[in-house]
């Protein structure tokens, strides 16, 4: 659901960028035409209209549209894609799996693997002063953790069934995922 919301929020921004780029190209070309007319004195210069539509070559239009779509794709990949390899949590003597996640511009690692049916401790060490990262939320566990700057704050999870459990910052812009796998599998 929040993924859909992020897409809905970002598509207009990316489209707007594409349109703005398109208009910048059009205005630049309008300037060039004016300059060319002055230099060549080919015709008396009519008062420059405030606004006019320039017909762009089809190739240029295709390039602008393709550029916009590439930006949208890159943005979706950045915010919604899963990158990198999972890092496994290691069990201590008491059998509690533990991993430290550094919070600095993102979650490092952002993909964590743990074994099902064993307790898990996720220790978040926050180095990033951005208020955006002051909280980490695990929607599936109904847990919100406040992360004081410069401190390590742990989330203790009871033995958890296998599954994929995403987590994110307070505004759902920075994301990570906990993958709990069956030890027998
Ligand atoms: Cu955020």
Ligand 1 centroid–CA 171 distance in Å is 4
Ligand 1 centroid–CA 57 distance in Å is 41
Ligand 1 centroid–CA 54 distance in Å is 41
Question: Does residue 8 register a pLDDT over 90?
Answer: no
Ligand 1 centroid–CA 79 distance in Å is 11
Name the pTM for this structure: 0.58
Q: Where residue 42 falls among pLDDT bands split at 50, 70, 90?
A: low
Ligand 1 centroid–CA 89 distance in Å is 24
pLDDT tens readout for residues 77-111: 877 665 677 899 998 888 899 999 999 999 999 99
- Kindly list the distances between the CA atom of residue 28 and the CA atoms of 9, 14, 42, 150, 182, in Å, as whole numbers in the listed order: 30, 21, 20, 49, 60
Pairing of strands 107-108, 143-146: unpaired
pLDDT tens readout for residues 108-133: 999 999 999 999 999 999 999 999 99
Ligand 1 centroid–CA 154 distance in Å is 19
Among left, alpha and beta (phi > 0; psi -120 to 50; other), residue 142 is: left
Q: What is the mean pLDDT of the chain?
A: 82
């Amino acid at each position: 659901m929040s993924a859909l919301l992020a897409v809905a929020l970002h598509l207009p921004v990316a489209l707007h960028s594409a349109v703005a780029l398109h208009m910048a190209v059009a205005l630049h070309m309008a300037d060039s035409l004016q300059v060319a007319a002055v230099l060549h004195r080919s015709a008396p210069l009519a008062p420059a209209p405030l606004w006019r539509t320039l017909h762009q070559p089809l190739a240029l239009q295709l390039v602008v549209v393709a550029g916009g779509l590439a930006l949208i794709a890159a943005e979706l990949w950045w915010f919604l894609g899963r990158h990198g390899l999972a890092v496994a949590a290691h069990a201590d003597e008491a059998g509690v799996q533990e991993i430290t996640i550094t919070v600095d511009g993102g979650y490092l690692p952002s993909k964590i693997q743990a074994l099902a049916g064993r307790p898990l401790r996720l220790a978040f060490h926050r180095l990033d002063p951005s208020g955006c990262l002051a909280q980490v939320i695990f929607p599936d566990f109904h847990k919100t953790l406040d992360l004081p700057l410069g401190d390590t704050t742990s989330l203790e999870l009871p033995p958890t069934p296998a599954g994929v459990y995403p987590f994110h910052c307070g505004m759902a812009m920075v994301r990570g995922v906990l993958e709990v796998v069956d030890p027998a599998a």
